[in-house]
Amino acid sequence: MDIYVGNLAYSTTDEALKSAFAVYGEVSAARVVVDRMSGRSKGFGFVEMPDNAQAQAAIDALNGKELDGRAIRVNESQPKPREERRGGYGGGRGFGGGRGPAGGRRETRW
């Protein structure tokens, strides 16, 4: 089961997250999500536990409990909703979509 862990302290590490959940069973992966640009934690992470019963026990026990000075929010991870991608101008026809010097035709210049 994939588990979402929110409201993490910026100082929480992958190892600390793994250790908190390992008390309740096998943890196959634990990661704190970090910002690519700054390398700083975004304040949430994910834990993977292969046994659903152990994962549910961890969720029940840790939701609202303190980790590194913060009350964490723990629940089963939900898939990210898929949004239809639409372009800006031109009704989703790609970049721009407006009429340029070619009157709407694409020109290739080599």
Q: Taking 60 as the threshold, does the pLDDT of residue 35 lie above it?
A: yes
The size of the chain, in residues, is 110
Q: State the average pLDDT over residues 95-103.
A: 55
What's the mean per-residue pLDDT of the chain? Answer: 86
- pLDDT for 91 beyond 90: no
Global pTM? 0.72
**Residue 91 carries which DSSP code?**
S
Contact assessment for residue 71 and residue 45, using Cβ atoms and an 8 Å cutoff: no
- Predicted local confidence at residue 16, as pLDDT: 97
Note the CATH number of domain 2-74. Answer: 3.30.70.330
Q: State residue 79's pLDDT score.
A: 82
Tokens (6 digits) for 69: 């000075």
- 102 against 35, higher pLDDT: 35
Which residues, 6 or more positions from 55, have their beta carbon under 8 angstroms from its beta carbon?
Answer: 1, 3, 24, 25, 49, 76
Mean pLDDT of all residues in 4-29:
98
pLDDT at 101: 57
Q: Which residue has the tokens 């929010």?
A: 73
